[in-house]
Amino acid sequence: MDESKLREQICTFAASMFNRGLTHGSTGNISVRVNDDAILVTPSGSSFGKLDPNEIVKVTKEGSLIGSSVPTKELPLHKAFYETRGLKSGAVVHLHSTHSVALSMLPGINVDSVLPSYTPYSIMLLGKVKLLPFFVPGDPAMGEAIKGLAGKRSAVLLANHGPVVSGKNLEASVNAIEELESTAKLALILRGMGAIELNQDQINSVVNKFNIDWD
């Protein structure tokens, strides 16, 4: 897909998520890898509800900025996924979606796999989702924390902040982060009710059939 279409695609998916309440105000950011290993990234302070394709910033492989806007302060977070996941990472989406953020603040959740295994789809689209500690927004340490996962996770949940998902392209990343938010909502609805999760044999059958990274 050429660069102009990628810019339009970013705006289309962003508006869809904004209009459905998956993020709000000027929260969230998106990046997409382009053919020359540069990335397109949403500007700092921009709203998903009214992105302009021409204001999306291009960041070259060498780190130069092309465009009149300033990229999101979460750029190191995005770069860390591209650096550690290679060709598996074609886009990164970060939201402040309500149910995911709420789940990140609850006591007693599994830090290594924060989402309950309620459906096969969360396993298929996300693998295990790691809960990372709180960082001040824009802190480069977030990127270092992603690098510390050595490319083994495609999705993380930042405590008191929100989810970040990297997929093979923008559509896959959006689908995955929406699945993360939906599963977090299920987890909150069912909390304390003794809901029946998939057992280990069922999880293994999904992991094996769809060749999911599940470590």
Catalytic residue numbers, as ranges: 74, 121
The phi and psi torsions of 58 (rounded to 5 degrees) equal: -100, 130
- Rounding to the nearest 10 degrees, give the CA dihedral for residues 204, 130, 120, 175: -140
State the alpha helices, DSSP H only, in 74-140.
Answer: 75-85, 98-104, 120-126
Name residue 195's amino acid. Answer: A
Separation in Å, CA 192 to CA 38, 44, 107, 189, 196? 46, 39, 13, 9, 11
